Structure 1
């Protein structure tokens, strides 16, 4: 059934060329324009590229379209965008540009504020839970610009959340472990809600009209499909999808934050 739906989408819809172009500009800036020592490690450059690939997979590949049909794939989007891409981007980014920016008083103050662990932590979880309030989520999925805005904002606050974990100069070993544990504790409730909820949380996955509007954002011609046919395109049990998504979110964050809990404190400032 999923193949039938995807066959209705143009190649340029499934693979977002606009995001690919933006990524090309980012790579040009990263490899050719950003100042950095000539001995900048290759593995860090690979980490940055992999981080950008994760971002593109979440926002520019068929995953972005399938996420409008299957909720569990939306969770896969979140895993790529919030748990995989940010640490890779932070590891691979060339910090010399930030060192120069800090010398500018206003920019230095902004960077200092944003890099505070409490700022990144609060910004991430406030935005994450706000986006997943049913009314907000349903509305965002019906507007292409608003949904992309939320996704990019989540990526940004995801980077802020991970910065104290990856950076060796933000927290000492013990505080870094506490920070990681708190990140796990604050993210788990949403996963548990998905696991134990006995009804669908989001109308965009159950209501035929909203489902059609959500797909129409990506493919305007979907409006020409009769409602009866659109109803047949809802073959996935929303409660099962939420359960699968909850399992994916809980397990992935435990594994990824677990690795960070073991490795991260080794690269911390002294107490």
Structure 2
């Protein structure tokens, strides 16, 4: 079957587009028009605006486009959605919001103690990965995917924990965070290790784990969360096999592999950025030392011919 049977509103979520446009408008009002209302503010940079706009486009692509409906039919699409939301969208959003905005938010009385505790590297690292692993326990997963309240709650909490996890690495508020040098590498490697058991369980399982993909009744409950009830009432659907030829086992294994690959690509990019920053810092320090040496009246020795 073609996804078009679910209708335009289910596939393209016009209300979600309006929400994203509203958030984008508020973002530019705060960072441009109302910027002078804040004591410590700086002009919005092109890089920050680009990061934010890309994050909004990415958010719509994974939560407002047909990908949302497809995620109820293919576990591999669901895992792609999860990996993109928490490992790509979240850091882009953090980088897109100026430091002075983050500082204003973090200073709020209710948020300050929470941020102070939850952004400690060990707490931030363990909390996200533990909840992510718990979420993918079959009994938990099936209940969350078929209950609109639980689904929204888990999605929101995982996103907040993803913000905490990325905070020590990106330091978007320019605070003094005790995570630098080799500690950042250890932090990234630790995250990769902590996520491995959940992905391994999914990849090496000998049978389908999640009833929302192999049980027609549970699958329809999950589908009802993103498709209007009036649309489903007029359809006769037996299961996700109507929309894909991939077996449940292969789809499940592919989902675990995709999650791990996206994580490795993202963290590999972060590691490369760290090494590049270190190289630039070392070069700047070497140039500064040479300038001081020359200013003192010394001349750099010439190489022997």
Give the TM-score normalised by structure 2: 0.79
Which residue of structure 2 aligns with residue 153 of structure 1? 157
SS at match of 2:190: helix
**1:248 aligned to which of 226, 245, 258:** 258
Segment of structure 1 superposing worse, 102-111 or 127-136? 102-111
CA distance in 2 between counterparts of 1:155 and 1:114 reads 13
Could you list the runs of 5+ residues in structure 1 that have no partner in the other structure? none
Task: Give 2:217's match in structure 1, choosing from 197, 209, 217.
Answer: 209
Q: What pairs up with 1:29-178 in 2 under 5 angstroms? A: 29-34=26-31, 35=35, 36-38=41-43, 40-167=44-171, 169-170=176-177, 171-178=179-186
For 1:180, which of 181, 188, 200 is the aligned residue? 188
Deviations 1:88-117 (A, max 9, x none): 111111221232345444443233223322
Contact 1:176 1:265 in 2 (8 A): no
Kindly state the Cα deviation for residue 161 of structure 1 after the two structures are TM-superposed: 1.0
CA distance in 2, matches of 1:245, 1:153: 22
Cα distance 1:153–1:108, how it changes in 2: closer, same or farther (>3 A)?
A: closer
**8 A Cα contact 1:124 1:154, kept in partner:** yes
- Would the alpha carbon gap of residues 250 and 104 (structure 1) be closer, same or farther in structure 2, given more than 3 Å must change? closer
Q: CA 1:56–1:150 in 2, change beyond 3 Å: closer, same or farther?
A: farther
User: What's 2:7 paired with?
Assistant: 10
Structure 1 contact 48–89 (Cα < 8 Å) conserved? yes
Residue-by-residue CA offset, 1:204-250 (whole Å, 9 max, x unaligned):
100111112222232323244346x5476264311100111122112
- What is the Cα deviation at residue 46 of structure 1? 0.4
> Aligned partners of 2:21 and 2:133: how far apart in 1?
32
3-state SS of paired residue (2:42):
coil
Q: 1:265 to 1:231 in 2, by over 3 A?
A: closer
Counterpart secondary structure, 2:161: helix
TM-score by length of 1: 0.88
Structure number, greater radius of gyration:
2
Q: Residues 91 and 98 from structure 1, CA distance in 2 versus in 1: closer, same or farther, beyond 3 angstroms?
A: closer
**Count of equivalent residues:** 264
Aligned to 1:233: 242
Q: State how far apart, in whole Å, the 2-side matches of 1:180 and 1:118 are.
A: 11
1:265 and 1:21 mapped to 2: Cα distance? 40
Cross-structure match for 2:201: 193
Q: Deviations over 1:244-270 (max 9, x none)?
A: 11221122211111111221366699x
Cα root mean square deviation, aligned: 2.3
